[in-house]
Amino acid sequence: MARAKRSEIIQGTEKEFLDVFNRLCYSRSSWQVWADLISAIACTLSNVTDRTQKHFEAREKEYAQCIERLGSVEITAEILNIIVMALENEPEQDFLGKMYMNLNLGNHWKGQFFTPYNVCKMMSQMTVENVDRQIEEQGYISICDPACGAGATLIAAANTLKGSKYNFQNHVLFVGQDVDRVVAQMCYIQLSLLGCAGYICVGNTITNPLTGPVLFPRENEGQEMWYMPMFQSDVWQWRKIFHSLGSMGGTVTTEKTVEKEHFYMFFDFGEKEAQYGSQRI
């Protein structure tokens, strides 16, 4: 009853987050606590829908180890509750990125500095255009940030796309990659909670970029894929099935359209785009 009452009054403020977070730092550094906290939350979200053996078992084990080091499932759940409420109340923000910088964690050893959200919002408004026409022609579009950080650019794009007449959850695929596992997981958490479909890859974009068609990315050696729960929805699963049928020369009963697969700027263009012709869905 007390826990339920506490959940009811959570407002999702920065102060709430920092107050609860600091309770976990009594015997460990803020960086160690942050890394375990983010990993535990990311594993929780991933294992709800991603049941592939390679991911599920490793992340179950990682979650248990993180919770053991954190010493409390309840406080971890409380932190997640605050993040959910923060993004629910104000989706136009990079909440985790802001907390990360406020705690001075970006300077831990990489000297990171995240682009302010308002700058990302301006960039998205300048670059996201003709979305409705592209969706009508292609069925969906994809947006990629090869150095995603905590996801501010992709979050801004998602918010800008709310102005489209199409539901971005069903028609936009969000893809990010970052060499830093912790910040990549931060991006994954925020986009997942905002209902975006797509995936985040942990890996070096320059030396080990994502490869493969956008709906079927390859998890290459040295990479780690985190699939957002919305990417497992029926809409995206059926779209993948139709693409598979199209690439195998199968037939379907939906209207035939010509659709170019969306590749990332670092994709292997040795495989011709025509190979992945598909149906509109």
pLDDT of residue 112: 74
Token pair, residue 147, equals: 């150095």
Return the closest-CA partner of residue 77 out of 87, 67, 86. 67
Q: What's the pLDDT tens digit per position in 126-183?
A: 988 889 999 999 899 999 999 999 999 999 999 999 999 999 999 999 999 999 999 9
Token pair, residue 193, equals: 């909670």
Domains and CATH numbers, the chain: 2-90 (no CATH), 117-232 (3.40.50.150)
pLDDT at 272 over 60: no
CA 226 to CA 196: how far, in whole Å?
13
CA 186 to CA 188: how far, in whole Å?
5
Q: What's the pLDDT tens digit per position in 94-112?
A: 999 999 999 988 765 566 7
Within a 10 A sphere around the Cβ of 273, how many other Cβ atoms? 14
pLDDT of residue 114: 84
Rama region for 147: left / alpha / beta (φ>0; ψ in -120 to 50; rest): beta
Q: Which of 8-17, 82-91, 151-160, 214-223 has the lowest mean pLDDT?
A: 8-17
DSSP string across 101-129? HHTTGGGSSS---PPPHHHHHHHHHHH--
Average pLDDT score over the chain? 85
pLDDT at 52 over 70: yes
Cα torsion for 44, 45, 51, 52, to the nearest 10°? -100
pLDDT of residue 66: 97
pLDDT of residue 130: 87
pLDDT of residue 110: 62
Q: Which of 62-66, 166-170, 239-243, 260-264 has the lowest mean pLDDT?
A: 260-264
DSSP 8-state class, residue 255: P
**Residue with token string 């831990």:** 108
pLDDT of residue 248: 60
Cβ atoms of residues 59 and 46 within 8 Å: yes
pLDDT at 185 over 70: yes
Going by their DSSP bridges, the two strands 197-202 and 224-227 should be labelled as: antiparallel
Token pair, residue 252, equals: 């379907």
Share of the chain above pLDDT 70, in %: 83
